[in-house]
Amino acid sequence: MTTIRVLLVDDQPLFRRGMRMLIDSQADLTVVGEAGDGGEALLVADEVLPDVVLMDIRMPRADGIAGTAGILRSATDAGRTPPRVIVLTTFDLDDAALRAIRAGASGFLLKDAEPEFLLAAIRAVHGGHAVVAPGAITDLLAHVGPARDARRTSTPAELAAARDAALPDLSKREREIFAAVAEGLSNAEIAAREFVAEATVKSHVGKILAKLSLRDRVQVVLYAHDHGLLPRR
CA angle, corner 105, sides to 96 and 82, nearest 5? 145
Structure confidence at residue 144 (pLDDT)? 58
The predicted structure's pLDDT at residue 227: 85
Whether residue 15 has pLDDT greater than 60: yes
pLDDT at 134 over 70: no
The predicted model gives 44-60 an average pLDDT of 95
**Over residues 169-190, mean pLDDT:** 90
Determine the longest span between alpha carbons in the chain, in angstroms: 54
Q: What is the pLDDT of residues 97-131, one digit of tens each?
A: 888 888 889 888 888 889 999 999 999 999 888 88
Give the residues across from 85 on adjacent strands: 53
Q: How much is the pTM?
A: 0.79
pLDDT at 216: 84
Listed ranges 95-109, 172-186, 197-211; the one with the highest mean pLDDT = 197-211
CB distance 82 to 71 below 8 Å: yes
Query: Rounded to an integer, what distance in angstroms lies between the CA atom of residue 59 and that of residue 156?
Result: 44
d(CA 165, CA 91): 37
Whether the per-residue pLDDT at 199 is higher than 90: the answer is: yes
CATH class of 4-132: alpha beta
pLDDT of residue 233: 55
pLDDT at 222 over 60: yes
Q: Where in the chain is the domain with CATH 1.10.10.10?
A: 156-226
Domain 156-226: assigned CATH number: 1.10.10.10
Write down the pLDDT at residue 231: 67
* Short-list 229, 214, 107, 210, CA closest to 158: 229
Question: Average pLDDT in the 201-205 region?
Answer: 94
Domain limits, CATH 3.40.50.2300, in the chain: 4-132
Residue 139 confidence (pLDDT) above 80: no
**For residue 189, with 0-12 CB atoms within 10 Å meaning exposed, 13-18 middle and 19 or more buried, which class applies?**
middle
Q: What is the mean pLDDT of the chain?
A: 87
- What pLDDT score was predicted for residue 210? 93
Residues 145-170 have pLDDT tens digits of: 554 444 455 677 877 787 888 899 99
